[in-house]
Amino acid sequence: MLAVLSGALAGFTALAVAELVSAWVRPQAGPVVAVGGAAIDRTPAAVKDWAIRNFGTADKLVLQLGILTVLAAFALALGLLGLRHRPAGTAGILVFGAVGAAAAISRPDSSGVVDALPSLVGAVIGALVLCTLLGRLQPSEATSAPGAAGQEAVTRSPGWDRRGFLIAASAAAAASAGAGAWGRVLNGGRGRDAVASRANVALPAPASPARPMPKGAQLRLPGVSPFITPNKDFYRVDTALVVPKVDATTWRLRIHGKGVTRPVTLTFDDLLRRDMVERDITLTCVSNEVGGPYVGNARWIGVRLDALLAESGVKPPSRGGPADQLVARSVDGMTLGSPVEDVMDGRDALLAVGMNGQPLPVDHGFPVRMVVPGLYGYVSACKWIEDIELTTFDDYDTYWVKRDWARKAPIKTQSRIDTPKPFARPAAGTVMVAGVAWAQHRGIDKVEIRVDDGPWQQARLAAEDSRDTWRQWSFPWQATKGGHTLTVRATDRTGATQTEQRARPIPDGASGWHSVVVTVD
Ligand SMILES: Nc1nc2c(c(=O)[nH]1)N[C@H]1C(S)=C(S)[C@@H](COP(=O)(O)O)O[C@H]1N2
Ligand SMILES: [Mo]
């Protein structure tokens, strides 16, 4: 029992010390975050897909709790092992430290061997604590052997040193709690400059404002996703266990690579001095299942990426440029690759600094992110961006491409029934069926509804804002008693109708029709 407690205390000490050390190195180098991040890096795409589907944005929390649970179980076991064989228990803790250190160094944003320090220092101190505590629990091995130490142990107490254990255990617990709390405070404080710099951002008025939203773009129907998704409700998908807190005053963006005749490094003020454009653009995640929630529409403000690239001498492949891939890299080492041709074909590809009238929220990429209409987020929407490299698809595979997702991923035409909800029990009579449909950069031309195996009937479309945004739609259904299946499909402006063919999100986005089953009372 006390051995188990010793193990737990040693584990707690190790984590607390690691937290404190990570405050000096980098919060991302702490063992739980590092192991979690390394796990995300290595998780086969299918497992990740499953995790996102089941935990949604809570997947990261579940992952960290899982790591802590495993660590706790091993700490307890090491306590027991250590009671029988102290060196083995101690070595066990050091092995865990080594795993944490290796994970930290392996991360794409690692700043090198210093990232090993939190885990290593934590493990060494944890091992010392375990050794000390277990030492109090055991009669010294020397009791039966001659020698000064043995003599002392024999004369003191033949069993275990209760007082010594309690003092050592309490001291370890108190010191670790202190170290852990101090580490937390320091880690929290790190973001202060970033938060302050965000509070000081005044977004300039756009030189090219978004066209006023057409009156009819927002239907007044309960249950439909609002045309503009408020920032607080906007989906979030990224690999960051610790959200990068970037200070806008020291932020830099470098543009370089193949065909860049004038490489530049820009500051945040450099960006704000340029002409600002404001556009409504609907963002979609490739991991979104048919009918899923990872899509949102915001009013972005930022600078045109094509203009910046052109000033640096970049030409798209169709005009003889040598680079066909633009690799955006974030401060946390994430890489996303977009076709240069798409980014420079005149669409509103932005380096965005504002979202729905506010500086970018930290979760959504403060201070600067990319937004490219028509491309899934993982091939375009780099948050916390700090580097743009022009290269080729042959020469470089980005983070998700290395993990079997497609190199190129234009957004597929999709439609979703927002209301009624699955298994709803509406009353017979007129039931408003409504939802959203999107086909960014092509535009939505038509949405149709089918009740059971009946004919396709045209839904009423809300006014179009732009072809880069989703459209709401509605259909007054004369509902009759009994169970019914409602199915929706959209047709885009190229005339292509959303395919019935079901596909998983991997490798280039889910397809198929969204259906909702209801019972009419
Ligand atoms: N730095 C960074 N940028 C990123 C990601 C990421 O993991 N790290 N995820 C991408 C993905 S997969 C999507 S769908 C969008 C989501 O943007 P949001 O979280 O603002 O909705 O961000 C993209 N940009
Ligand atoms: Mo995504």
User: What tens digit of pLDDT does each residue of 298-333 get?
Assistant: 999 999 999 999 999 999 999 999 999 999 999 999
For residue 284, what are its two tokens? 């979609």
**Is the same domain home to 301 and 447?**
no
**Cis peptide upstream of residue 118 (ω within 30 degrees of 0):** no
Confidence at residue 442, expressed as pLDDT on a 0 to 100 scale: 98
**Is the same domain home to 396 and 433?**
no
**Is the same domain home to 322 and 431?**
no
User: Phi/psi zone of residue 198: left (φ > 0), alpha (ψ -120 to 50 degrees), beta?
Assistant: alpha
CA–CA gap between residue 277 and residue 280 (Å, rounded)? 10
The alpha carbon of 378 and the centre of ligand 1 are apart by a number of angstroms equal to 6
Nearest ligand 1 atom, CA 235 = 21
**Is the same domain home to 323 and 389?**
yes
Q: Which residue's structure tokens are 């698809």?
A: 393
The alpha carbon of 235 and the centre of ligand 1 are apart by a number of angstroms equal to 10
235 lines ligand 1 (CB under 6 A): yes
Task: State the residue range of the domain holding 434.
Answer: 414-520
**Is the same domain home to 315 and 456?**
no
For residue 338, what are its two tokens? 């977009």
CA–CA gap between residue 225 and residue 194 (Å, rounded)? 32
| CATH number, domain with residue 360 | 3.90.420.10
Q: Which residues contact 198 (CB under 8 A, 6 or more apart)?
A: 248, 359, 362, 366, 367
Three state DSSP letters for 280-318: EEEEECCCCCCCCCCEEEEEEEEEEHHHHHHHCCCCCHH
pLDDT tens digits in sequence order for the chain, 521 residues long: 888 888 889 888 999 999 889 888 888 888 888 888 888 888 776 677 777 766 666 777 888 888 888 888 888 898 889 888 889 988 999 998 999 999 999 888 887 888 999 999 999 999 999 888 888 887 654 444 444 444 444 445 557 788 888 888 888 899 888 888 888 888 777 788 899 999 999 999 999 999 998 999 999 999 999 999 999 999 999 988 889 999 999 999 999 999 999 999 999 999 999 999 999 999 999 999 999 999 999 999 999 999 999 999 999 999 999 999 999 999 999 999 999 999 999 999 999 999 999 999 999 999 999 999 999 999 999 999 999 999 999 999 999 999 999 999 999 999 999 999 999 999 999 999 999 999 999 999 999 999 999 999 999 999 999 999 999 999 999 999 999 999 999 999 999 999 999 999 999 999 999 999 999 99
**Is the same domain home to 254 and 399?**
yes
The alpha carbon of 330 and the centre of ligand 1 are apart by a number of angstroms equal to 10
Entry pTM:
0.88
Confidence at residue 254, expressed as pLDDT on a 0 to 100 scale: 98
The number of distinct structural domains making up the chain is 3
Contact (Cβ atoms closer than 8 angstroms) between residue 197 and residue 249: yes
For residue 168, what are its two tokens? 């050592």
**Is the same domain home to 348 and 419?**
no
CA–CA gap between residue 419 and residue 379 (Å, rounded)? 31
| Closest-approaching ligand to the CA atom of 239 | 1
Tell me the DSSP string of 129-146: HHHHHHHHHS--GGGGS-
| Chain center to CA of 340 | 25
**Is the same domain home to 484 and 340?**
no
**Is the same domain home to 358 and 244?**
yes
CA–CA gap between residue 13 and residue 452 (Å, rounded)? 61
**Is the same domain home to 87 and 175?**
yes
CA–CA gap between residue 404 and residue 51 (Å, rounded)? 17
Q: CA triplet 350, 377, 67: central angle to 5 degrees?
A: 130
300 lines ligand 1 (CB under 6 A): no
Instruction: Report helix, strand or coil for 451.
Output: strand
Whose C-alpha lies nearest to ligand 1, atom 12? 378
Nearest ligand 1 atom, CA 332 = 1
CA-closest candidate to residue 36, choices 61, 10, 3 = 61
